[in-house]
Structure formats: C-alpha cells, structure tokens
Amino acid sequence: MSAVMITRKVRKWEKLPGKNTFCCDGRVMMARQKGIFYLTLFLIIGTCSLFFAFECPYLAVHLSPAIPVFAVVLFLFVMAMLLRTSFSDPGVLPRALPEEANFIEMEIEAANGNVPSGQRPPPRIRNVQINNQIVKLKYCYTCKIFRPPRASHCSICDNCVDRFDHHCPWVGNCVGKRNYRYFYLFTLTLSLLTIYIFAFDIVHVVMRSVDQGFLNTLKETPGTVLEVLVCFFTLWSMVGLTGFHTYLISLNQTTNEDIKGSWSGKNRGQNPYSHKNIIKNCCEVLCGPTYPSVLDRRGLMQEDSPTLVTSEGPCSFDNPVAQTTKTTAPLIPNEHTPEDVKPSIAASAEKSPSPKEDHSPAPKLPPLASPETDVETSIVKNH
C-alpha cells in the first residue's frame, strides 16, 4: 500500500456549488429540472413543423412566398432567444470564499457588539442609500454574502442571482441581469409567432374552404386543428406575459420586486433604480451593456487529492459528485440554527480563526473522480 497524491486539472464548473447542471464542458448552464423546458421546445418546434408542412405550401402558392419565409425568420429568432435565455448564466453571484466570509463575520460581530447569551443577535442587514432612498441589503446565509441591491437567492438553483427577476421553469433557468433581455425578446417574438401562425391558419382554412368546403379542408390538413388549439391557449398567456414585462421594464422593476411590493402601495414612486422616464428605462434594460459572467465556468483549477493505492492495482473510484464548497467560516448562531447545533457552535466560536495560511493550501478530500471524467491526471508519488 502506498499513498499517492493525484494532481489533476479540472474545469471550475465541476466544483461550483449550487443546483445547476452544466453541459458542453461548462458552456451551457441550466437548472436541474428541465422537463418543462423540453415541453416548451416540443410545443414550439412541433407547432411550427405542422405549420410548415400543412399551411405553408398552400399559402406560398395562393398568397405569397413571403409568408413562409417570414415564418422561418420568426421561428429562428424565437429559438435563438429561447436557447440564449435557457443556456446562459443569469447573473449568478459566486459564494464567498472562506476568507471573505470570515471577514464579513468579523465585521458583523464588531458591529453587533456584545449580545447577551440567550438573546438573539440582531438580523443581518446593511442599509445603503441609493438616490435618496434607503435600501436594505440582506445577508445570505447560504452564500455568506450581503446581497447586492436587487439580487435575490433562488431556492431552486440554490444561487444568489443579480437583478433576480424570477425562476422560469418554461425556459429551465433563472431570469436575471444577464438574460432578462433575451427572455423578454423571447416572450415578445413568441407572441408574434403565435399570432402569426394563428392568423394564417384561419386565413388558410377560410381560403381552402371556399374551394373545397370546410370538412374537406380539415381532412387534408389535420394539423391545422392542433395548431389552432395550441396557438389559442398560448396566445393569451404569452401576450399577457409580454404586456406584464413591458410594464415592468417601463418602470425598471423586476418581477421579484413587483411581487414583494417593494416599490408599490405606500412606496409608490420611490423606486431608486427608475429614471422616471419610460424611454430611458426601456433603453437601459434592453439596450444596456451586456454584462459578463463572473462565474468563469471553463477556467482550469488544480485539485490535489490524496488517495491510497493497493498493491493489486488502482482502487475503484466513487461516482463523481459535484462538490459543494465547504467554508470554514465560524458559524454564529441565529434564528436559522437548529437547536442541537448551538452548543457546539458556541464552543467552536471561542477558538479564534487563524488567519495565517500555508503557502500551499492543505489538500482537500473531495470525492474521487471516475476514469470517465474528462480531466488530465498526473500522478505524483508521495515521498
């Protein structure tokens, strides 16, 4: 038996905490539950295929070839927007590394002073003034950061997302700062596509019925019935959703803020992020700068994992599991701490965390990779 140190390079996305799934070696980022997203894809592609198969040949000949051409363009645009919304990073804020989490904890401790034992420490809130409005920044216990203004923690993806709008199961991803404009354009163009297909379905049925009669028309193009049904129900929801988001954009609000009533009711007219001008608000949201992802999913990092090798050969590896970042920040008991954990926390809190670190970090013990994992391995014999 000898101990060897396996140094391997992994992509950073493999070690990201949170409940996202990654594809194409980190290029694609989505939520875990993708079932409804596949349904969305199926409905759009299915309905459009029926339209191209049944209606378009007739309409191209009897009306204009521009009709199917425009439908294709619209369809491609809808798909591009959907895939961009679903596959991109919505603006996830990475969790605080241990040193940063410690630093924040110490600042909080200093600010709170001495809390008598048995009493709850005050809630962790930072007040900032933005455009003469006091905005409260809440502390996220999962990510160990004070959330920036307009950020919120998505419980489905288990990430803090900047300018969090909502988690959309239809696109299989959160909608946040980075992909909100794609989401809006998706709803807008899908509404247009739905109206377009619905309208031309009716035109087609009417035109053909004049020649052949209504029942014969339905027999020749059975897909029409399906398309009309799907479009009819989709139309109302999509047009409504587009209208709602147009309203939000003109006020520079997020769905999250609207639901919570942050800037409505008695706070109406006090949204500090609004430019008080509809055009300016729209321009900022739709034509503003394209923010880069701060996650660096495809960066490489070194990972050291000690392992024992038996003399018979390499040991069997466990299935790779996405490793959650384990932080060593001292926990301060709060209202979320379970009762049985509090005494042990109190004991460990008395030990002051040592700030001095070794030059090379102590080897972590992550789950071992399986041979299928696409990483480079170099085995360094332990002396």
Partner 1 sequence: MLHNLKDIQHTASLVTKVFIQRDYSEGTVCRFQTKFPTELNNKIERALLEQTVKTLNLYYMEAEKVGGQSYLEGCLACATAYIVFFCMETRYEKVLKKISGYIQEQNEKIYAPRGLLLTDPIERGMRVLEISIFEDQGSSGSSPSSGMSSCSTAR
Site residues, partner 1 (CB under 8 A): 76-77, 80-81, 84, 93-94, 96-97, 99-100, 103-104, 128-131, 135, 137, 145, 148-150, 163, 182, 185, 272-273, 283-284, 286-292, 294-296, 355-359
Catalytic-role residue among 48, 56, 157, 168: 168
Would you state the structure tokens that stand for residue 348, as one six-digit string?
Answer: 């460990």
Active site residue 287: no
Ramachandran area for residue 242 (φ above 0: left; ψ -120 to 50: alpha; else beta): alpha
Least distance to partner 1, CB of residue 6, Å? 24
* CA-wise closest residue to 55 among 264, 245, 207, 252: 207
Crossing angle of helices 223-251 and 278-287, rounded to 10°? 120
How would you classify residue 314: left for phi > 0, otherwise alpha for psi between -120 and 50, otherwise beta?
beta
- Contact of 56 with 143, CB cutoff 8 Å: no
| Separation CA 241–CA 253 (nearest Å) | 15
Pairing state between β 133-140 and 300-309? unpaired
Q: Which is nearer to partner 1, 304 or 309 (CB)?
A: 304
Q: Please, which residue, 147 or 208, has the CB nearer to partner 1?
A: 147
Q: Which is nearer to partner 1, 310 or 360 (CB)?
A: 360
Taking the least distance from each CB to partner 1, the nearer of 356 and 383 is: 356
The encoded tokens of residue 247 equal 């309203």
Query: At closest approach, how far in Å is the CB of 196 from partner 1?
Result: 17
**Of residues 100 and 109, the one with the C-beta less far from partner 1:** 100
Minimum CB distance to partner 1, residue 330 (Å): 15
Taking the complex as a whole, the smallest distance from the CB of residue 260 to partner 1 amounts, in Å, to 17
What is the rounded end-to-end Cα distance, in angstroms, of the chain? 13
Q: Is the dihedral of CA 358, 359, 362, 364 positive or negative?
A: positive
Cite the active site residues: 168
